[in-house]
Chain A
Amino acid sequence: MTADAPASSPPAPTPVPVVPGVRRSRRRWTGWMFVGPFMLVFALVFLAPIAYSLYLSVFRTQMVGGTTFVGLENYAQALADPQFWEGLGRVSLFLVVQVPIMLGIALLVALAIDSGRLYGKSFFRISIFMPYAVPAVVAALMWGFMYGTRFGLVGNINEAFGVSLPNPLSPDLVLASIGNIVTWEFVGYNMLIFYSALRVVPHSLYEAAEIDGAGQWRVIGAIKLPAIRGALVIATIFSIIGSFQLFNEPSILQSLAPNAITTSYTPNLYAYSLSFSGQQYNYSATVAIIMGLITMVIAYVVQLRGMRKEA
């Protein structure tokens, strides 16, 4: 067992806090000593805000009359709010178009790299992953400049070829332009998740398939894809959550395309504007909770479907 080797040789001098009070008989609770610090901070930054937001969502603060308990009125208002529905519709459209494209490209690249048929596969792997290290702010600024008709690539191409490409920041195209930025940022990340899952598929399976006369496509369909279903489900869930939370890219592009991107462009942007420009904290918390619920329900359904196929 080679795993013993690093354990028997003590590591570089690490301070070792010896806690004398720990008794073996209390082992059942020892786990809490390790998970406790995480849960403490978790309670402070996740559970307390969720509870507080539920509290906020059932009150209303008005100039006259102060704060009053309104029950579910804020929820009723949100569900009848066209700006909320418009934003939700937009991120849903984004979800059904952008997520399959992004995950599809990521999967194809992961399969290509894993197939061992590429020249220079580690260069491919690290280079395609690299945009993940670029902050969303920088990505949005960079693409925003490139989209620009002034000193962007779009402007250059128009000048060089005497054509007039449609402005990517116009109201009709800006959602697709945002989709392109998000795809660029996360294709490599998802590719790496798929690739890591493919790596742990036992090679003996491929050899057995080869003996049975199965080709590459058959191996992909019958062995590789089923083997990484867990990774596919997880990546899909993370992408759904990411789409519903869309904020950074539209928020940064807003200064370049103020007419195309309104303050309620996505539900997240709407909740933000309600709070920080409109001081409507109660209504903002309500919008955020509704989005949270919708996200959780959809993520849960995807997980159930993904896992059921597995059985």
Chain B
Amino acid sequence: MSTLTAPARPAPRLRTPRHHSVARPRRSPLLTVLTAVVLVYSLVPLAWLLINATKTQADLFSSFGLWFGDSFSLWDNIVTTLTYDDGVFVRWFGNTVLYVVVGAGGATFLAILGGYALAKFDFPGKRGVFALVIGAVAVPGTALAVPTFLMFSQLGLTNTPWAVIIPSLISPFGLYLMWTFAAEAIPGELLEAARIDGAGEFRTFFRVSLPLLAPGIVTVLLFTMVATWNNYFLPLIMLRDSSWYPLTLGLNAWNAQAATAGGEAIFNLVITGALLTILPLVAAFLLLQRYWQSGLAAGSVKE
């Protein structure tokens, strides 16, 4: 239990190293090299992105892809990316942040409440709720997208931020993760004790349960953030006006610009913009890794 509330505690490390065993085996250079193949595969495209963000449009075509070009124009590229077309990139960035804060924040909040209810309360229709949500995961995006678009357009919501935010509020995976996490992390006796002390259900939830759920909340928040930040399909169908675009749609529009008649090719800006798009998420994952990794471990399927 204590590992759930103190996720960073490296319990096995405290043992003094003795002989090698199945639990503490000898390190293997061969296995390290073999796994490094997958590591290189994972990192080479990111290195490519970083290197090519330092090139001018001309260098992109003339220099080797995995090495730097004649000039180092990373800063120029960043400045041009941010100011191109009256700073539309900054606008897209702001839109993305809005969708993430409201959409992912809201999705996490709803998933916490719902997961807590499924884990800690017995209520009529509970099995039905669970079956519905699991079944819904299998429904493909387009089965929902087209009718959602038509519904929203009748409600006058298309081409507004709400069209992107409202569907983002539901994360079945988040609900599932919160449900398994809450079942483990909150002892039933604790809730009973709070109720006997006369605390209302909401007071109990905010004062007692929420702090215990912290690692799970960080995990769900990160995964809903990724889903919202990376969302492409939903805004693609919902938004016509490019001033409401998130970064993903904006980058694709920039990339497509080269193919349109009379359009200026701005591949250096597409690449630099792509780099700027992934940096916040990479940073969030790196900085918060001890939280989400323990959250995933606790939420993983136990047999």
Contacts and interface: CB of A to CB of B under 8 A. Distances in A.
A26 to B, nearest CB: 10
Interface residues of A, number: 128
Interface stretch (A49-57, A92-100, A167-175): A49-57
B18 interface: no
Contacts of A2: 1-2, 5-6
Contacts of B102: none
Interface string A256-278: 00000000000110011001100
B42 to A, nearest CB: 5
B285 A133 contact: yes
B39 interface: yes
A76 interface: no
Nearest to B273: A138
B296 A34 contact: no
Contacts of B212: 3, 6-7
A10 B248 contact: no
B251 A138 contact: yes
B174 to A, nearest CB: 10
B8 interface: no
A197 B302 CA distance: 7
B114 A38 contact: yes
Contacts of B255: 141, 252, 255
A33 interface: yes
B87 interface: no
A146 interface: yes
Most buried by B among A20, A32, A142, A184: A142
Contacts of B90: none
A138 B2 CA distance: 40
Contacts of A247: 141-142, 233
A151 to B, nearest CB: 5
Given A112-B31, A272-B237, A35 B117 contact: yes
Nearest to B195: A24
A230 B248 contact: no
Interface string A1-34: 1111111001100101111101010011111111
B123 A45 contact: no
B43 A127 contact: yes
A52 B296 contact: no
Contacts of A44: 166
Interface in A175-226: 184, 187-188, 192-193, 196-197, 199-200, 203, 206-207, 209-210, 216, 219, 226
A188 B226 CA distance: 14
A113 B35 contact: yes
A109 interface: yes
A85 interface: no
Given A45-B169, A248-B232, A145 B66 contact: no
Classify chain B: how many residues form its interface, as a range. Answer: 35 or more
A138 B279 CA distance: 12
A292 interface: yes
A41 interface: yes
Interface string B248-283: 110110011001000000010011001001100110
Given A3-B187, A11-B207, A284 B278 contact: no
Contacts of B278: 133-135, 138
Contacts, number: 360
Q: Is the interface of A mostly helix, strand, loop or mixed?
A: helix
B127 interface: no
A164 interface: no
Nearest to A303: B134
A285 interface: yes
A197 to B, nearest CB: 5
A156 B65 contact: yes
A17 B5 contact: no
Contact of A56 (B2, B147, B208, B293): B147
Given A133-B278, A135-B277, 19 more contacts: A3-B4, A7-B212, A14-B207, A16-B202, A17-B206, A18-B200, A35-B129, A45-B167, A46-B139, A49-B148, A115-B31, A120-B32, A134-B46, A141-B270, A156-B66, A206-B22, A209-B22, A244-B140, A245-B141
Interface of A: 1-7, 10-11, 14, 16-20, 22, 24, 27-35, 37-39, 41-42, 44-50, 52-53, 56, 105, 109, 112-113, 115-120, 124-139, 141-143, 145-146, 150-153, 156, 160, 184, 187-188, 192-193, 196-197, 199-200, 203, 206-207, 209-210, 216, 219, 226-231, 234, 237, 241, 244-245, 247-248, 252, 255, 267-268, 271-272, 275-276, 281, 284-285, 287-289, 291-292, 295-296, 299-300, 310
Interface of B: 1-2, 4-6, 12, 21-29, 31-32, 34-36, 38-39, 41-43, 45-46, 48-49, 52, 60-61, 64-66, 110-111, 113-114, 116-118, 120-126, 129, 132-133, 135-151, 166-167, 169-170, 175, 185, 187, 190, 195, 200-203, 205-208, 210-212, 226, 229-230, 232-233, 237, 247-249, 251-252, 255-256, 259, 267, 270-271, 274, 277-278, 281-282, 284-286, 289, 293, 296-297, 299-303
14 contacts: A6-B211, A18-B202, A30-B121, A33-B201, A37-B114, A53-B146, A134-B46, A134-B281, A210-B23, A229-B303, A252-B252, A271-B142, A287-B142, A288-B143
Give 6 closest A-B pairs by Cβ, nearest first: A31-B121, A31-B123, A230-B301, A34-B117, A38-B114, A135-B230
